[in-house]
């Protein structure tokens, strides 16, 4: 049995927006940072809006898991830099300046398709996951959830965080993003193999702070040529240092 709820951030509510990919990813990610630091009360709150917008998500169309996780490799700002609102944004819109000084990024991610490996990885920290949402899941209140068969239609697909498992119950512990009024104050035990919950999960590897973006060389050939001439005279006179021609 494994249960990482003590390391999880407070349950959030994605509202009327298909941003579950950002909430599922960050729900696991923030816990992994706390586990890595051995500090369940560590203050870390990443911006779902930033991750969702910069990975191409829209409230009406949602987003893909792969696009979301790949964007996380490039970095995400803090919630204080871009607070969540259930609406569409373009990447970088309303984000505070120099966000990289406090932002975080993933080092890597990989799909996990084997239940044994899922358990082994959950012993070290949460996973991101996906599932089919049946009609009955919307009204879940407690206990071990299982769908009701052909009379229980699939109404959509959803991304969540998997924060534990219990072999006695035969269930995964799921962290949702529908507020504390849903399920067990935002959590759910879901039966192994139900609702495509363990077809594939995603192991995330957190990294450190994001380096400040560096200037890029100027496309101006005259500027580069002039810098080369100056450097040639420096070399002739055995002077230290070099000239660089860069865009600010």
Q: Are residues 203 and 219 in the same domain?
A: no
- How far apart CA 159 and CA 180 sit, in angstroms, is 17
Active site residue 20: yes
| Tokens encoding 206 | 């957190």
pLDDT in the model for residue 37:
92
Q: Are residues 236 and 204 in the same domain?
A: no
Q: Are residues 114 and 222 in the same domain?
A: no
CATH number of domain containing 52: 3.90.70.10
Q: Are residues 233 and 143 in the same domain?
A: no
Residue 247 pLDDT more than 90? no
Q: Are residues 76 and 134 in the same domain?
A: yes
Q: Are residues 243 and 151 in the same domain?
A: no
For the chain, give the percent of residues with pLDDT over 90: 79
Q: Which residue would you say has higher pLDDT here, 215 or 131?
A: 131
- How far apart CA 114 and CA 96 sit, in angstroms, is 41
Collect all residues with Cβ–Cβ distance below 8 Å to 33 and sequence separation of at least 6: 42, 44, 104, 206
Distance spanning both ends of the chain, measured CA to CA: 54
Active site residue 146: no
Least Cα distance to 195 among 237, 132, 142 occurs for 132
Q: Which residue would you say has higher pLDDT here, 92 or 241?
A: 92
Say which of 20, 54, 59, 81 is annotated catalytic. 20
Rounded to 5 degrees, φ, ψ at 242 are -145, 155
Say which of 54, 59, 134, 158 is annotated catalytic. 158
Global pTM value: 0.83
Q: Are residues 136 and 174 in the same domain?
A: yes
Collect all residues with Cβ–Cβ distance below 8 Å to 176 and sequence separation of at least 6: 11, 160, 182, 183, 186, 187, 188
- How far apart CA 194 and CA 171 sit, in angstroms, is 9
Q: Are residues 246 and 189 in the same domain?
A: no
Cα angle value 128/131/134 (rounded, 5°): 150
Say which of 17, 63, 146, 176 is annotated catalytic. 176
Domain tally for the chain? 2
Residue numbers of the domain that contains 161: 2-209
Q: Are residues 37 and 127 in the same domain?
A: yes
């Amino acid at each position: 049995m494994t249960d990482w709820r003590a390391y999880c951030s407070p349950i959030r509510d994605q509202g009327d927006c298909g941003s579950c990919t950002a909430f599922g990813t960050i729900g696991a990610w923030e816990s992994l940072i706390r586990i890595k630091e051995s500090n369940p009360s560590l203050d870390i709150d990443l911006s779902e809006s930033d991750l969702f917008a910069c990975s191409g998500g829209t409230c009406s169309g949602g987003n893909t898991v792969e696009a979301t996780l790949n964007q996380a490799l490039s970095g995400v700002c803090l919630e204080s830099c871009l607070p969540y609102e259930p609406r569409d944004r373009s990447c970088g819109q309303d984000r505070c300046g120099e966000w990289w000084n406090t932002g975080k990024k993933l080092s890597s991610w990989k799909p996990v398709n084997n239940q044994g490996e899922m358990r082994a990885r959950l012993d070290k920290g949460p996973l991101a996951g996906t599932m089919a949402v049946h009609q009955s899941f919307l009204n879940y209140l407690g206990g071990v959830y299982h769908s009701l068969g052909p009379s229980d239609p699939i109404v959509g697909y959803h991304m969540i965080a998997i924060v534990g498992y219990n072999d006695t119950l035969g269930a995964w512990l799921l962290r949702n993003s529908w507020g504390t009024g849903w399920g067990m104050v935002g959590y759910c035990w879901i039966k192994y193999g139900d609702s495509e919950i363990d077809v594939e999960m995603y192991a995330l590897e957190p990294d450190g702070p994001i380096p400040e973006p560096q200037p890029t060389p100027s496309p101006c050939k005259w500027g580069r040529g002039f810098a080369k001439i100056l450097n040639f005279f420096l070399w002739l006179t055995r002077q230290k240092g070099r000239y660089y021609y860069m865009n600010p």
